[in-house]
Structure 1
Amino acid sequence: MNICREKILIIDSTTEKHFKTAIIEQEILAGHDVQLVHISHVNEIPLNLLSEVNYLIIWACVPAVNFDKAFLSSLKNCRTVVKAAVGYDNIDISAARELGISVLNIPDYGTEEVADHALALMLGIARKLEEINIHVKQGGWDWASVKKLYRLRDRKLGIIGFGRIGGAVARRAAAFGLNVQFYDPYAVSGLDKTHGVFRCESLQELLVSSDIISVNASLNRSSHHLLSHAEFDMMKKGVLLVNTARGGIIDSDALFSAIKSGKVAAAGLDVLENEPNIPHSFRTLDNVLLTAHSAFYTEESFLEMRTKSAELVRQKMNGLHVRNCVNENTGEQSVPY
C-alpha cells in the first residue's frame, strides 16, 4: 500500500536547546520528511514552510514562545500538533480546535522524575540542606546552625492537583510517614481510597490544615494565581511550600511577602512566573531552594518524550485512535489539575 509522504516539523527553542538532530523521530517516522528548527520566536519560521507542514511536534519550548491563533492559522495543511510535554499552556488549543487541528500532549512522560524532584525539594527545605551546605563551605561545622528542624513523620502534606504526578508524590510521601491529603475538584470519586489518602473538599480546607504543600496542578485560566495573598493568609505559620508544576499557579509577589513574613518558612521552587527571568529578590533568600524547571529531566524521560511524540504522529497518520487529545471536546479542556 502506498503511504503518502508527510511533512513533519519539529520545533525546539534556541533558549532551551534540547537536541541538535531529530534522529529518533526520523527513525520512527521513516519514509516521511522530518525537519527540525530552533527558534526564539514563532515568526522565525518561514510561512512557506509552515503552509507545507502536515504534522507539528513542539518540544517543551519556554512559555515565552507562544503558539497563538495567528501562528496556528498559518498551518494550512496541518492536522495535528503534538506538544511533547505534560503542559500545553503556550498553545491556543481553542483556536486549534476552531481550525480543525488536534492538539495532543504527553501527560505520562517524566511522572517519576517530577515526583522524585518534588520530594527532593521537600526534603531539602525540611532539612535545610541549602543553609547547612553554605555554612560548611564557609568553614563552619555546627549542626545547630540550622535550628530548628522538625520530624517529617506525622506531618500533614497537602497536594494541590491529584493527577498522575500528584498521585506519584503521594506514594513517595507515604514512605516518609507523612499524612497525605489532596484537593482536586476534578478527580474522580474514590481516588482517595485508591491511594489511601484524605480528600479535601475545598482548597481552604487543605490550606488551613497542611504543614507542607506541594503544587502539582496544570496551568490554565482556572488555576492561574490559585495561590495569592488571600490563600497564603489561610496557611499555617511556618508552612513549607513546593512547586514543581507551573510558576503562574502561584502569585510571585504574594509568595515573596509570605516568605518574608515567616508565613512560609521555606520554599522549594522548580518553576516561577516569567521564568527564566527570576526576580533578584528570590535569588537572595536563603530559605528558598531554586531549580531551573528541571524536575522533568532525566535521559530516560527525554527518550520517552521524543519516542511517544513521534509514535503519536505515526498513529494519527495510520488513522488509529490516540489518547491525550486536549481539545477534542467543545471549548478548552475543563480539567485543570
Structure 2
Amino acid sequence: MKAVIIDDRYESHALEREEFKKAGAEVVEITNVNPSDDQIVAECKDADAIVVNLAPLGAELLGKFEKCRVIARYGVGYDSIDAAAATEKGILICNVPDYCMEEVSDQALALFMACARQIRFRDASVRKGDWDANGPTPIYRIAGRKFGLVGYGHIPRALHRKLKGFNLGEVLIYDPFVDEDEIKKAGGRKVDFDTLLKESDYVSIHAPLNEKTKHLFNAEAFSKMKPSSILVNTSRGGLVDTAALVDALKSGRIAWAGIDVHEQEPAPADYPLKAMDNVVLSDHKGFYSEEAQADLQQKAARAAAQVLMGEIPASVVNKAAIKK
C-alpha cells in the first residue's frame, strides 16, 4: 500500500512513517509546500491514503484518485477538502479534533491578560523612559466580571477550565449546537448571541468560519458590547470585520482587542491595528508548540493507517462514507 504526504511542511516525517509502517504502507512525500494539481495527481492516483496540510483537494482532483480510502488532514478544519465528493467516492476524511487545544486556549488567555493588564502599552511605555500609572483606558479588576465564550468546542472548554481560578462572576456561552444542561454542568450559562454581547466584560471567539459566521463581529455587534469590554480572537480572522473593529476601538465602543488571527495574512504594512495602543497582536501562532506539532503529525498519520488496517478511526468526519 502507498501513503502520500502532500505539501510537506515539517523537517521530519519519522512519526508518520512509524504509523504507516504498522499498516505495511510505503510513504511518499510531495516535498514542496505548494504542489501543482499535476504533481498531486501523479503521486496520488494510486495512493491508498493521503495526509494533507493546506493543499486544496476539490472534486476534480478526488475523481482522479483510483484507490484512495482515506484522507487525513493535519488540523481540525477540513474545508480544503471537498467532503461531498470524497463521501460519494467512499473516501473517509479524518481530522485531529483535539489538535492544539491547550496551545490555543493558552494563547487566548495570554492575549486576554495582556489586554486586561495593558501589558503591551506598559512595556512600550517603560522602554521609552515613561513611568506613569495612566494608560489608554482604565484597568479594572477581573474577579467578579463576566467572560463570554463564542463557541464551546474543545478549545473554549480548555479555556473555561483555565479561567476557573480567576473568581469570575459568570461564564456566558453562546453555542447553538451544545445542550444547555451540558453547559450548566460545566459551570457556564447558555445565552443567545445578543445577551453574550451585552452582558460580557470579556469575549473570546472560538467559532468556525463559514457563510453564516463571516463578520459575525461587525459594527452592529460592537454597538451592543460594553465600552470597557475586551475582545479576543484566536479562531479565524474572517469572523471579525476588521474595519468595524478599528472603528470600535478608536471610538471607545470597546476598550481592547487581542488578535492572533487576521482577515489578511500576513498582516499588510498599512494594517491599522498595528498603530493602536489598545490592541495586542500576534502572528497566528496560537496553535504552536513543539508538543502540539508532534501530536498533529502522529495523530493524522495514525488515523489514516488505521483505515488501511481495516479500522474506523474516531476522527472520521464524513460518517456517510463508511458504508461506501
TM > 0.5 fold call = yes
Aligned to 2:187: 196
Q: How does 1:1-337 map to 2 (within 5 A)?
A: 6-12=1-7, 18-30=9-21, 31-37=24-30, 38-40=32-34, 42-43=36-37, 45-59=39-53, 61=54, 65-145=55-135, 148-178=138-168, 179-200=170-191, 202-278=192-268, 280-329=271-320
Aligned equivalents of 1:237, 1:147: Cα separation in 2: 10
Deviates most, 255-264 or 212-221: 255-264
Structure 1 moving runs of 4+ over 4 Å: none
For residues 220-250 of structure 1, the C-alpha deviation after alignment (integer angstroms, 9 at most, x for no partner) is: 2332222222222222223200011111222
Deviation at 1:26, TM superposition (A): 0.8
Give the stretch that moved more between structures: 242-251 or 115-124: 242-251
Contact 1:232 1:263 in 2 (8 A): yes
Report the TM-score, using the length of structure 2 for normalisation.
0.90
- Following superposition, the deviation at residue 108 of structure 1 comes to 0.8
Contact 1:28 1:310 in 2 (8 A): yes
Cα displacement (A) at 1:208: 1.1
CA apart distance, 1:277: 4.0
The structure-2 alpha-carbon separation of the partners of 1:140 and 1:24, relative to structure 1 and needing over 3 Å to count, comes to: same
Higher relative contact order (CA 8 A, sep 6+): 2
Amino acid in structure 1 at the alignment position of 2:68: C
Structure 2 Cα separation of the partners of residues 149 and 289 of structure 1: 15
Output one character per residue of 1:83-102: Cα deviation in whole Å (capped at 9) or x when no partner: 11112233332232233322
Residues 95-154 of structure 1, C-alpha deviations (whole Å, 9 max, x = no match): 322333221111112111111111100000111111111111122233334652111111
Q: Kindly state the Cα deviation for residue 281 of structure 1 after the two structures are TM-superposed.
A: 1.4
Q: Which runs of 5+ in 2 are unaligned?
A: none
Give the partner amino acid of 1:40: N
Q: Is contact 2:44–2:50 with CA below 8 Å preserved after alignment?
A: no
Question: Greater CA deviation, 96-105 or 275-284?
Answer: 275-284
Give ranges in structure 1 of 5+ residues lacking alignment. Answer: 1-5, 331-337
**CA contact 2:259–2:280 (8 Å) conserved in 1:** yes
Give SS of 1:157's match.
Answer: strand
Aligned-pair identity (%): 34
**C-alpha separation in 1, matches of 2:320 and 2:223:** 37
Alignment check: 8 A CA contact 1:118 1:242 kept = yes
Q: How many residues align?
A: 316
Partners of 1:136 and 1:277 lie apart in 2 by 26
Kept in 1, the 8 Å contact 2:48–2:308? The answer is: no
TM-score by length of 1: 0.87
Amino acid at match of 1:33: E
Aligned CA distance change for structure 1 residues 24 and 127 (closer, same or farther; 3 Å): same
Distance in 1 (alpha carbons) for counterparts of 2:147 and 2:125: 28
How far does residue 271 in structure 1 lie from its aligned partner after superposition? 0.6
Structure 1 pair 89–261 and aligned structure 2 pair: CA distance change class (3 A): farther
Deviation sequence 1:264-316 (CA, Å, 0-9, x none):
21111111113224462122222221112111111111111111111111211
